[in-house]
Amino acid sequence: MKLQTTASKLESLSEDQILDSGNGSLEEGEIVEGEQDRLLHYWQDIARGHRVEVPRDMAEPIQQLTTNNNGTHNRETVPFTLISRKEKCGDVLYEKRNYKKAYWACITVKEETYEQSICYGFMRIMRYICQQNSLGSYLGMTLPIVTVLRTNEMHTTLSGAVTVAYYLPSQHQAQPPQPYDTGVVIEQWPATIVYTRAFTGATNETIILNEINILAELLDSPELYVTDSFIVASYTNPAAANRENEMWFFKRP
Protein backbone atom coordinates (compact mmCIF):
# COMPACT_ATOMS: atom_id res chain seq x y z
CA MET A 1 0.00 0.00 0.00
CA LYS A 2 1.58 3.26 -1.13
CA LEU A 3 1.69 6.19 1.27
CA GLN A 4 1.00 9.76 0.28
CA THR A 5 4.00 11.97 -0.52
CA THR A 6 3.88 13.79 2.82
CA ALA A 7 3.70 10.53 4.73
CA SER A 8 6.59 9.09 2.74
CA LYS A 9 8.79 12.00 3.76
CA LEU A 10 7.76 11.68 7.39
CA GLU A 11 8.47 7.94 7.38
CA SER A 12 12.13 8.69 6.74
CA LEU A 13 12.29 10.09 10.28
CA SER A 14 12.53 7.85 13.30
CA GLU A 15 9.84 7.97 15.98
CA ASP A 16 12.28 9.50 18.45
CA GLN A 17 13.17 12.27 15.97
CA ILE A 18 9.50 13.13 15.64
CA LEU A 19 8.94 12.99 19.38
CA ASP A 20 12.05 15.03 20.14
CA SER A 21 11.80 17.70 17.46
CA GLY A 22 10.74 21.03 18.94
CA ASN A 23 10.39 19.57 22.42
CA GLY A 24 13.93 19.72 23.74
CA SER A 25 13.29 22.69 26.03
CA LEU A 26 9.73 21.84 27.07
CA GLU A 27 8.85 21.36 30.69
CA GLU A 28 6.64 18.37 31.41
CA GLY A 29 3.04 19.09 30.41
CA GLU A 30 3.90 22.35 28.62
CA ILE A 31 2.24 22.87 25.24
CA VAL A 32 3.82 25.03 22.56
CA GLU A 33 1.32 26.80 20.31
CA GLY A 34 0.70 24.63 17.26
CA GLU A 35 2.52 21.63 18.75
CA GLN A 36 -0.63 19.56 19.14
CA ASP A 37 -1.62 20.21 15.53
CA ARG A 38 1.84 19.35 14.21
CA LEU A 39 1.94 16.03 16.07
CA LEU A 40 -1.67 15.22 15.18
CA HIS A 41 -1.01 15.89 11.48
CA TYR A 42 2.07 13.65 11.57
CA TRP A 43 0.05 10.78 13.01
CA GLN A 44 -2.79 11.41 10.54
CA ASP A 45 -0.44 11.40 7.54
CA ILE A 46 1.22 8.14 8.55
CA ALA A 47 -2.05 6.48 9.57
CA ARG A 48 -3.65 7.14 6.18
CA GLY A 49 -1.12 4.74 4.69
CA HIS A 50 -2.79 2.03 6.78
CA ARG A 51 -6.31 3.29 5.94
CA VAL A 52 -6.70 4.54 9.50
CA GLU A 53 -8.30 7.87 10.43
CA VAL A 54 -6.88 9.59 13.52
CA PRO A 55 -9.70 11.76 14.95
CA ARG A 56 -9.20 15.31 16.14
CA ASP A 57 -9.81 14.32 19.77
CA MET A 58 -6.55 12.33 19.69
CA ALA A 59 -4.52 15.58 19.54
CA GLU A 60 -4.26 15.95 23.33
CA PRO A 61 -3.37 12.29 24.11
CA ILE A 62 -0.74 12.33 21.34
CA GLN A 63 0.79 15.57 22.62
CA GLN A 64 0.65 14.40 26.24
CA LEU A 65 2.29 11.07 25.47
CA THR A 66 4.99 12.83 23.45
CA THR A 67 5.75 15.49 26.08
CA ASN A 68 5.80 13.03 28.97
CA ASN A 69 8.07 10.64 27.11
CA ASN A 70 10.51 13.52 26.62
CA GLY A 71 10.14 14.69 30.22
CA THR A 72 10.66 12.99 33.55
CA HIS A 73 8.68 9.83 32.77
CA ASN A 74 10.66 6.80 31.69
CA ARG A 75 9.25 4.18 29.38
CA GLU A 76 9.09 1.22 31.74
CA THR A 77 9.73 -2.17 30.15
CA VAL A 78 7.60 -5.16 31.10
CA PRO A 79 9.84 -7.13 33.49
CA PHE A 80 10.84 -10.71 32.69
CA THR A 81 13.41 -13.33 33.60
CA LEU A 82 15.52 -14.75 30.79
CA ILE A 83 15.50 -18.54 30.96
CA SER A 84 17.61 -19.36 27.90
CA ARG A 85 18.76 -18.02 24.55
CA LYS A 86 19.35 -19.85 21.26
CA GLU A 87 22.11 -18.33 19.12
CA LYS A 88 23.75 -19.11 15.80
CA CYS A 89 26.93 -17.41 14.57
CA GLY A 90 26.47 -14.67 17.15
CA ASP A 91 22.86 -13.94 16.15
CA VAL A 92 20.01 -14.50 18.60
CA LEU A 93 17.50 -16.86 17.00
CA TYR A 94 15.04 -16.79 19.89
CA GLU A 95 14.78 -16.44 23.66
CA LYS A 96 12.80 -18.27 26.30
CA ARG A 97 11.45 -15.90 28.98
CA ASN A 98 9.31 -15.96 32.10
CA TYR A 99 6.81 -13.12 32.65
CA LYS A 100 5.24 -12.82 36.10
CA LYS A 101 1.56 -12.44 36.91
CA ALA A 102 0.51 -8.84 36.23
CA TYR A 103 -2.35 -6.47 35.41
CA TRP A 104 -2.88 -5.30 31.84
CA ALA A 105 -5.39 -2.88 30.28
CA CYS A 106 -6.89 -4.66 27.28
CA ILE A 107 -9.26 -3.93 24.43
CA THR A 108 -10.50 -6.33 21.75
CA VAL A 109 -10.92 -4.80 18.30
CA LYS A 110 -12.12 -6.17 14.98
CA GLU A 111 -11.50 -4.00 11.92
CA GLU A 112 -11.09 -4.83 8.24
CA THR A 113 -7.32 -5.37 8.51
CA TYR A 114 -4.88 -6.33 11.25
CA GLU A 115 -3.12 -2.94 11.10
CA GLN A 116 -6.41 -1.08 11.38
CA SER A 117 -7.31 -3.15 14.43
CA ILE A 118 -4.04 -2.47 16.26
CA CYS A 119 -4.08 1.26 15.39
CA TYR A 120 -7.64 1.83 16.58
CA GLY A 121 -7.05 -0.32 19.66
CA PHE A 122 -3.85 1.54 20.52
CA MET A 123 -5.58 4.93 20.25
CA ARG A 124 -8.19 3.85 22.82
CA ILE A 125 -5.46 2.55 25.11
CA MET A 126 -3.67 5.91 24.70
CA ARG A 127 -6.76 7.74 25.94
CA TYR A 128 -6.76 5.51 29.02
CA ILE A 129 -3.06 6.21 29.66
CA CYS A 130 -3.57 9.96 29.17
CA GLN A 131 -6.07 10.89 31.93
CA GLN A 132 -9.18 8.98 30.81
CA ASN A 133 -8.90 6.85 33.93
CA SER A 134 -10.16 6.94 37.53
CA LEU A 135 -7.03 8.80 38.71
CA GLY A 136 -7.47 11.50 36.07
CA SER A 137 -3.71 11.57 35.50
CA TYR A 138 -1.06 10.40 33.05
CA LEU A 139 -0.19 6.81 34.00
CA GLY A 140 3.15 6.44 32.25
CA MET A 141 4.12 4.57 29.10
CA THR A 142 5.26 0.96 29.25
CA LEU A 143 6.82 -1.19 26.54
CA PRO A 144 6.00 -3.29 24.70
CA ILE A 145 2.38 -2.77 23.74
CA VAL A 146 1.23 -6.28 22.88
CA THR A 147 -1.37 -7.65 20.51
CA VAL A 148 -2.89 -11.07 21.11
CA LEU A 149 -3.97 -12.74 17.89
CA ARG A 150 -5.20 -16.13 16.75
CA THR A 151 -4.64 -18.18 13.62
CA ASN A 152 -5.85 -21.43 12.18
CA GLU A 153 -3.73 -24.50 12.96
CA MET A 154 -1.83 -24.23 9.66
CA HIS A 155 -0.89 -20.57 10.34
CA THR A 156 -2.32 -19.44 6.99
CA THR A 157 -4.98 -16.97 8.17
CA LEU A 158 -5.48 -14.60 11.10
CA SER A 159 -8.77 -14.36 12.96
CA GLY A 160 -10.53 -11.01 12.63
CA ALA A 161 -10.48 -9.89 16.26
CA VAL A 162 -7.27 -8.97 18.10
CA THR A 163 -6.65 -7.84 21.68
CA VAL A 164 -4.38 -4.82 22.23
CA ALA A 165 -2.90 -4.74 25.74
CA TYR A 166 -0.90 -2.30 27.88
CA TYR A 167 1.08 -3.38 30.94
CA LEU A 168 0.19 -1.27 33.97
CA PRO A 169 3.30 0.52 35.34
CA SER A 170 4.72 -1.01 38.53
CA GLN A 171 3.35 1.80 40.73
CA HIS A 172 -0.20 0.95 39.55
CA GLN A 173 0.01 -2.86 39.71
CA ALA A 174 -1.36 -3.09 43.26
CA GLN A 175 -4.39 -0.91 42.50
CA PRO A 176 -5.00 -0.49 38.75
CA PRO A 177 -6.79 2.75 37.75
CA GLN A 178 -10.14 2.01 36.13
CA PRO A 179 -10.78 3.09 32.51
CA TYR A 180 -13.61 5.42 31.48
CA ASP A 181 -13.89 3.58 28.15
CA THR A 182 -16.12 0.55 28.82
CA GLY A 183 -14.35 -1.29 25.98
CA VAL A 184 -11.07 -1.20 27.92
CA VAL A 185 -10.91 -3.83 30.65
CA ILE A 186 -8.31 -4.55 33.34
CA GLU A 187 -7.18 -8.17 33.29
CA GLN A 188 -4.74 -10.02 35.52
CA TRP A 189 -2.65 -12.24 33.29
CA PRO A 190 -1.11 -15.33 34.89
CA ALA A 191 2.61 -15.99 34.98
CA THR A 192 3.64 -17.10 31.49
CA ILE A 193 6.65 -18.61 29.75
CA VAL A 194 7.10 -17.47 26.14
CA TYR A 195 9.47 -18.07 23.25
CA THR A 196 10.35 -14.77 21.55
CA ARG A 197 11.98 -13.68 18.31
CA ALA A 198 12.77 -10.06 17.33
CA PHE A 199 11.90 -8.54 13.95
CA THR A 200 11.61 -5.03 12.51
CA GLY A 201 9.25 -3.27 10.14
CA ALA A 202 5.54 -3.24 9.45
CA THR A 203 3.09 -5.68 11.01
CA ASN A 204 0.50 -6.52 8.39
CA GLU A 205 -1.19 -9.91 8.01
CA THR A 206 1.34 -11.30 5.54
CA ILE A 207 4.36 -10.31 7.64
CA ILE A 208 2.84 -11.61 10.87
CA LEU A 209 2.01 -15.00 9.36
CA ASN A 210 5.53 -15.19 7.93
CA GLU A 211 7.08 -14.38 11.32
CA ILE A 212 4.92 -17.03 13.01
CA ASN A 213 6.13 -19.64 10.54
CA ILE A 214 9.78 -18.59 10.94
CA LEU A 215 9.67 -19.02 14.72
CA ALA A 216 7.72 -22.27 14.41
CA GLU A 217 10.43 -23.62 12.10
CA LEU A 218 13.19 -22.53 14.49
CA LEU A 219 11.51 -24.26 17.44
CA ASP A 220 10.69 -27.31 15.31
CA SER A 221 8.65 -28.82 18.14
CA PRO A 222 4.93 -27.97 18.04
CA GLU A 223 4.44 -29.78 21.34
CA LEU A 224 6.47 -27.01 23.04
CA TYR A 225 4.04 -24.16 22.35
CA VAL A 226 0.41 -23.21 21.81
CA THR A 227 -0.13 -23.38 18.05
CA ASP A 228 -3.16 -21.13 17.48
CA SER A 229 -2.63 -18.12 19.77
CA PHE A 230 0.31 -15.70 19.63
CA ILE A 231 1.48 -12.24 20.66
CA VAL A 232 3.08 -9.48 18.62
CA ALA A 233 5.00 -7.22 21.03
CA SER A 234 5.70 -3.73 19.66
CA TYR A 235 8.28 -1.37 21.14
CA THR A 236 7.30 1.54 18.87
CA ASN A 237 3.83 2.94 18.21
CA PRO A 238 1.75 1.66 15.25
CA ALA A 239 2.31 4.95 13.36
CA ALA A 240 6.11 4.53 13.38
CA ALA A 241 7.76 3.70 10.06
CA ASN A 242 10.47 1.39 11.42
CA ARG A 243 8.91 -0.61 14.21
CA GLU A 244 10.81 -2.80 16.64
CA ASN A 245 8.78 -5.92 17.32
CA GLU A 246 8.90 -9.39 18.79
CA MET A 247 6.88 -12.49 18.07
CA TRP A 248 5.89 -14.37 21.24
CA PHE A 249 4.81 -18.03 21.40
CA PHE A 250 3.14 -19.30 24.60
CA LYS A 251 4.80 -22.34 26.13
CA ARG A 252 2.36 -25.21 26.57
CA PRO A 253 1.37 -25.85 30.21
CA distance 250 to 195: 7
Model confidence over 171-202: pLDDT tens digits?
Answer: 999 999 999 999 999 999 999 999 999 999 88
So what's the pLDDT on residue 162?
95
> Are the C-beta atoms of residues 46 and 123 closer than 8 Å to each other?
no
pLDDT, greater one: 124 or 58: 124
pLDDT band with cut points at 50, 70 and 90 for residue 46: low
Model confidence over 68-113: pLDDT tens digits?
Answer: 665 445 689 999 999 999 999 999 999 999 999 999 999 999 988 8
So what's the pLDDT on residue 18?
35
Residue 246: is its pLDDT beyond 50?
yes
When mean pLDDT is compared across 22-26, 38-42, 123-127, 173-177, the lowest value belongs to 22-26
So what's the pLDDT on residue 238?
61
Q: What is the DSSP string of 13-53?
A: S-HHHHHHTTTTTPPTT---TTHHHHHHHHHHHHHHTTT--
- Report the SS3 class of residue 145: strand
Domain boundaries, the chain: 5-69, 76-251
According to DSSP, residue 169 is labeled P
- Fold of the 76-251 domain: Multidrug-efflux Transporter 1 Regulator Bmrr; Chain A (3.20.80)
* Strand pairing category for 142-143 and 76-77: parallel
pTM: 0.80
